[in-house]
């Protein structure tokens, strides 16, 4: 199984906080991969993403694009100028929207479709989206649609990774947030698991936020995640 990186979610309010946090990883030969979400991107913009790229970090820009096909396609074309490695869109935008995104991305960037947010329980998803379909059925439906139009992979709960693989392919990327080390609080997530269990569930990459960023020693927590992720 091809593995994608373990991404540290930079859930910080500004560049100053990120720079201070990343200094703790200066001793590492291999820089950690980073996820830049909406909070940080809206605060600091493309300039800070370029700064991180110039320092050699792999960047996952998590903007969850969702709009009409033309708008999303042009947005992807604009974002591609940042030389990022991963970008998210919402699969619920539909096949035409996702196809427009695919048509405007460079080969060097992987496009990932968000299926259902890991903050949703099945009952919350059904009530919000006015559906009786199960959570796994909606996730696999959206994943199959993304796969058919050329999206590179999905963002989903680790619990759904094997089901996604079954309706796509072995090489289809399956990045999973909602990762916690044993003993950590779940926070506002509803579908969470450990790095090792995520791998056994069929995940090909991880996004880890609070278990690293709010740890007493973020470097030690990151190394522990890597150890668990690679453990048989």
Catalytic positions are 64
Is the dihedral angle over the CA atoms 97, 88, 12, 17 positive or is it negative?
A: negative
Burial class (CB in 10 A: 0-12, 13-18, 19+), 63: middle
* Main-chain dihedrals φ then ψ at residue 89, nearest 5 degrees: -130, 165
How far apart CA 49 and CA 220 sit, in angstroms, is 25
How far apart CA 24 and CA 12 sit, in angstroms, is 15
Q: From residue 174, how far is each of 18, 76, 110, 163 by CA, in Å?
A: 26, 20, 12, 10
DSSP run (H or E) holding 54: helix 38-54
* Main-chain dihedrals φ then ψ at residue 25, nearest 5 degrees: -110, 10
How far does Cα 206 stand from its chain's mean position?
7
Q: Residue 5: which of 214, 209, 212, 208 has the closest Cα? A: 208
Q: Residue 104: which of 120, 126, 80 has the closest Cα? A: 80
Token representation of residue 88 = 């998210």
């Amino acid at each position: 199984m091809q593995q994608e990186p373990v991404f540290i979610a930079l859930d910080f309010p500004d560049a100053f906080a990120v720079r201070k946090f990343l200094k703790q990883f200066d001793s590492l030969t291999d820089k950690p991969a980073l996820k830049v979400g909406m909070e940080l991107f809206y605060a600091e913009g493309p300039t800070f993403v370029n700064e991180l790229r110039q320092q050699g970090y792999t960047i996952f820009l998590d903007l969850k694009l969702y709009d009409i096909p033309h708008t999303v396609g042009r947005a992807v074309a604009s974002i591609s100028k940042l030389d990022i490695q991963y970008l998210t869109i919402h699969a619920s935008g539909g096949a035409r929207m996702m196809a427009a995104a695919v048509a405007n991305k460079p080969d060097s960037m992987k496009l990932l479709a968000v299926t259902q947010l890991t903050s949703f329980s099945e009952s919350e998803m059904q009530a919000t989206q006015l559906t009786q379909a199960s959570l796994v059925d909606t996730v696999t439906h959206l994943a199959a649609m993304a796969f058919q139009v050329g999206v590179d992979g999905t963002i989903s709960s680790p619990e759904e990774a094997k089901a996604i693989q079954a309706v796509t392919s072995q090489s289809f990327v399956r990045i999973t947030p909602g990762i916690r080390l044993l003993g950590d609080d779940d926070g506002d997530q509803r579908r969470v698991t450990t790095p090792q269990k995520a791998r056994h569930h069929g995940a090909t990459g991880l996004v880890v936020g609070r278990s690293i960023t709010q740890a007493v020693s973020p470097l030690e927590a990151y190394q522990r995640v890597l150890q668990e992720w690679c453990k048989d």
